[in-house]
Chain A
Amino acid sequence: MTERTGGFADGEGGPTAERPRSKILLVDDRADNLMALEAILASLDQDLVTASSGEEALKRLLVDDFAVILLDVQMPGMDGFETAHRIKQRGRTRDTPIIFLTAIDREPHHAFRGYAVGAVDYIAKPFDPWLLRAKVSVFVELFEKNERLSELAHQRVRDFDLMAEVAERLIALDVLLEGSGDGTADETLAAAGAEVRGLVARLQPFARSANS
């Protein structure tokens, strides 16, 4: 098995120094399993956050957003299925992908239960390190794309708000000039000038060359 990991994680932009790292949540009650997961995923160069129980995983999820969750099924206390069920009931974490990890010799219906609760993937132990790393990379890349999309969507909302404001002020200006018969020419000119200056101030940041 080769140890190559680059293709998925780097994305089309290639690695950049200031790229914000995504968080990956690793949940297993056994410390040696967590260490193995950390070793396998270290080369992805993301923030690996560990939790040793379902309860601790939920606490981590209350504090941070994660790109993907690797969740052991068999844990004492709150098991993987109950943990996943709670994660799926919360709006903020509902869409966070979950990869269930379980021993291969356990009951086969576990896989079905995993999908039913809303997990997007399922890996049986002992798992192929390369396969796990590749799957996690895909979800990290998806998460980062969604983050960028969400930022673009916010920008678009801000642009529309500005356009609406400018349109309203132009209409107000038009109304002012239409009704110019009511006041003196000087008054109308002064009011129109104030409107135009307000618009210019609002749009100044968008000018290609800064005019004073």
Chain B
Amino acid sequence: MVDDDVRNVFALTSALEMYGMRVLYADNGHDAIRTLQQETGGVHLVLMDVMLPGMDGNETMSMIRDMSAFAELPILVLTAKAMPGDREKSITAGASDYITKPVDLDHLLGVMRSHLY
């Protein structure tokens, strides 16, 4: 989970944990990449906000995709702003899917499932 807006993320994390998922958190792109590299068990899916302090979500995704180990890693972009062209920018940067905030949990779980199984 990569998102600077902890008010939203805390509740979402709590919901995902109730479904038995283990959620690793980073509030910026650099920490996200470090977490990916350090997690020995492997991360199965990334939820990425586009609006991050410093390096934004799209830049972070590009860097992750440049690493061969994460070429196939599902990365779902979560974003509040849905301007024309945003979706394309994220897909070009390497997003597997695109979800607009506020997040509908059932929809999110459905999209996550489709990328995990």
Q: Do B6 and A59 touch across chains, with their CB atoms under 8 A apart? A: yes
B1-32 contacts to A, CB under 8 A, are 1, 6-7, 9-11, 13-14, 17-18, 23-25, 27
What residues of A have a CB within 8 angstroms of the CB of B25 in the complex? 59, 62-63
Binary interface encoding of chain A residues 130-167 relative to chain B, with 1 for a CB under 8 A from any of its CBs, else 0: 00000000000000000000000000000000000000
User: Does A55 touch B at the CB level, under 8 Å?
Assistant: yes
Which residues of chain A are near B11, meaning CB under 8 Å?
A: 86, 89-90
Would you mind naming 6 contact pairs between A and B with Cβ atoms under 8 Å apart?
Answer: A59-B6, A62-B1, A62-B23, A63-B24, A86-B10, A91-B18
Interface contact A92-B10, CB-CB below 8 Å = no
Q: Are B7 and A90 in contact (CB under 8 A)?
A: no
Bound Cα distance from A61 to B24, whole angstroms: 11
Residues of A within 8 A of B6 (CB): 55-56, 58-59, 62
Q: How far is the CA of A90 from the CA of B25 in the complex (A)?
A: 15
Report the Cα distance A197→B14, complex, angstroms.
46
Report B's interface with A, CB cutoff 8 A: 1, 6-7, 9-11, 13-14, 17-18, 23-25, 27
Quick check: A59 and B27 within 8 Å, CB to CB? yes
Q: Which of B7, B10, B11, B18 has the most CB of A within 10 A?
A: B10
B13 touches A62 (CB 8 A): yes
Chain A nearest CB from B39 CB (Å) reads: 12
Assembly CA distance A140 to B27 (angstroms): 28
Query: Inside 8 A of A104's CB, which chain B residues have their CB?
Result: none
- For residue B25, which residue of chain A has the nearest CB? A62
Q: Does A42 contact B (CB under 8 A)?
A: no
CA of A92 to CA of B23 in the docked complex: distance in angstroms? 11
Task: Determine whether the beta carbon of B27 is less than 8 Å from that of A78.
Answer: no
Q: Which of B9, B13, B14 has most chain A Cβ within 10 Å?
A: B14
1/0 contact string of A91-105 vs chain B (CB within 8 Å): 110000000000000
Q: Which of B10, B24, B27 contacts A90 (CB 8 A)?
A: B10
- A56, A58, A78, A90: the one contacting B17 at CB < 8 Å is A90
Residues of B within 8 A of A89 (CB): 11, 14
A91 and B10 contacting across the interface, CB-CB below 8 Å:
no
B38 to chain A, nearest CB (A): 12
Instruction: Name the B residues within 8 Å of A59 (CB-CB).
Output: 6, 25, 27
**Considering the chains assembled together, what is the distance between the CA atoms of A61 and B2 in angstroms?**
15
